[in-house]
Structure 1
């Protein structure tokens, strides 16, 4: 009976080893070891964040470059359209300058009359 009681106490002591006064006794590390461990964990977290930011800035850079190319192409297209439009306006100017105002009025009136005639015939 004495032997079983001793076994019970030793088992109980091994089971609850490290618990003192209602709390768990922390393993004994020096503050330097704890600081190094926390620093290593923080460095790993920072490395992850830096790699995410690096990928994000790379994506932003690619997007900006693609938009710049698109804007350059659109600017070139607008320049060519402006050239075509200015050529057309110049042609109209020469037509209006060479014709007399009476002929021009007759031409506009005939176009309006033709338009109205076609409109009423299709209706």
Structure 2
């Protein structure tokens, strides 16, 4: 019976060691494995950091180009707004005169007639 108790005690200590992290080799070998794992993890982390740095740089460049494009578009919209308001002022002056109102009606009729003839010619061509 004593050998059976020794076997159980040995089995219990073996299981305790496994639960605590496994059977440990010599401390120098374990230290080398830890250093090697740390170096690999550090290299992987450094690669990821470099990739994120490049990605954030690309995003920054893209945002800057879009900001420049929006600034140019805003400038074009301001200039077109100025041109359109000038045209509208001239159109209001033309409408205010009675003889000019007749001229505008005549021009509108010619434009309408042109559009009707254009669509008729286009439908006959098909």
Provide the TM-score with structure 2 as the length reference: 0.60
User: Distance between the aligned counterparts of 2:32 and 2:47, measured in 1?
Assistant: 23
Unaligned runs of 5+ in 2: 1-24, 122-126
Q: TM-score, normalised by structure 1?
A: 0.62
Aligned counterparts of 2:111 and 2:40: Cα–Cα separation in 1: 85
Alignment gaps of 5+ in structure 1: 1-26
Alignment partner of 1:68 is 2:67: yes
The answer for the alignment partner of 1:110 in structure 2 is 106
Number of residue pairs matched by the alignment:
93
Q: Distance in 2 between matches of 1:34 and 1:47?
A: 20
CA RMSD of aligned residues (A): 3.0
Shift of 1:59: 0.9
Cα shift readout 1:11-56 (whole Å, capped 9, x = no counterpart): xxxxxxxxxxxxxxxx965322211111111001101111111111
Question: Any residues of structure 2 matched to 1:85-96 within 5 Å, and which?
Answer: 85-96=84-95
Select the structure that is richer in helix: 2
Q: What corresponds to 2:43 in structure 1? A: 44
1:34 — aligned with what? 33
Structural mapping, 1:3-22, within 5 Å:
none
Cα separation, partners in 2 of 1:103 and 1:76, compared to 1, 3 Å: closer
